[in-house]
Amino acid sequence: MNSLEEKESGYIIKKIIVPHCQRGPQRCEKCKQMAAEKKICLLQIYFKSDEIARPVIEVHKDGKTQWYEFDVLKVFKDEKEAKTYAKKHAIKVQFPLD
């Protein structure tokens, strides 16, 4: 098993609330709409933080929970599409998706 820490970034599939902008659901109507529904997404996770302030996400790894910065690369329409993609590209799926 290779250590994820050795790489600068990796990919996971997880069901999340897709962030819209920095303002957040309190101040942005679009954020509020998006916060109401979680979507299954392909995420690029950054193990090393850089200057860019990205949103962070909880990732369960080796029995521990850690927070990493991430970008949303792709939004899947359903779980089936996500699973097919994960299998094809050997991407870790974070279960449960919800």
The residues binding Zn ion (CB under 5 A) are: 20-21, 28, 30-31
Give the nearest distance from C-beta 4 to Zn ion in angstroms: 30
- The residues near 86 (Cβ < 8 Å, ≥ 6 apart) are 13, 92, 93
Residue nearest to Zn ion (CB): 28
For residue 34, give the 3-state DSSP assignment. helix
Q: How many CA atoms lie within 13 A of 91 on its CB side?
A: 23
Give the nearest distance from C-beta 31 to Zn ion in angstroms: 3
Give the nearest distance from C-beta 32 to Zn ion in angstroms: 8
Give whichever of 18 and 28 is closer to Zn ion, judged by the CB atom.
Answer: 28
Give whichever of 10 and 55 is closer to Zn ion, judged by the CB atom.
Answer: 55
Give whichever of 21 and 75 is closer to Zn ion, judged by the CB atom.
Answer: 21
By CB neighbour count within 10 A (0-12 exposed, 13-18 middle, 19+ buried), where does 42 fall?
buried
